[in-house]
Amino acid sequence: MTAILRAGDLPGQPVVSLAGERLAEIKDVVYDRESGDLLGFTLNDPGFFNGTRSEGLPMDAVHGIGDAAVMVAGPHAFVDVDLVVTAAERRGNDVLADRVLTEEGADLGEVVNVLLDPSHRPPKVVGYEVESQDGHLITVPLEDTMAVSGERLVVPGRGNLSGGNNAHH
């Protein structure tokens, strides 16, 4: 079974070349809420006094994502940040804090993380981690998402999630 990564764990991770050189750090994860695709990353300079870089890292230039680093072939993988993040994406693509509602109108909670399967190249978004009002974490598979607006995700009724409501205590 493939380990699933949480996109929220990636900011601060080093970006390392295949030659072992630490090139940058992940600042933000860029996600397309409509397609469900991970688009890439914005970057900081590595180190203690890291500033925001004018370059981004598109997903098609990522060699691999693990729990310790994001791997790239080399510094040529970086592109102008505007090629990774458009103005429209800056305004409305953060799915975190969106409410998750069932098609019957029940509030399941708030999106607290985007789940990634790093075994795909590029890594594939496979679902959302939702915190219910009582503090439990629920996994909502991406294929169960019926609609995504600027503030809400709509999913099938509680008993109809393909993940079986996967509540984790």
Query: What are the chain's domains?
Result: 5-92 (2.30.30.240), 99-168 (3.90.50.10)
Averaged pLDDT for residues 162-167: 47
Is 58's pLDDT higher than 60?
A: yes
Asked if residue 152 has pLDDT above 70, the reply is yes
Q: How far apart are CA 15 and CA 9, in angstroms?
A: 14
Q: Are 152 and 107 in contact (CB under 8 A)?
A: no
Question: What does the pLDDT average to over 55-62?
Answer: 93
pLDDT at residue 27, rounded to an integer: 92
Instruction: Give me the pLDDT at residue 168, please.
Output: 40
Q: What is the pLDDT of residues 97-129, one digit of tens each?
A: 678 888 888 899 998 898 988 888 777 889 889
Q: Which of the residue ranges 36-40, 76-80, 84-88 would you say has the lowest mean pLDDT?
A: 84-88
Q: Is the pLDDT of residue 90 over 80?
A: no
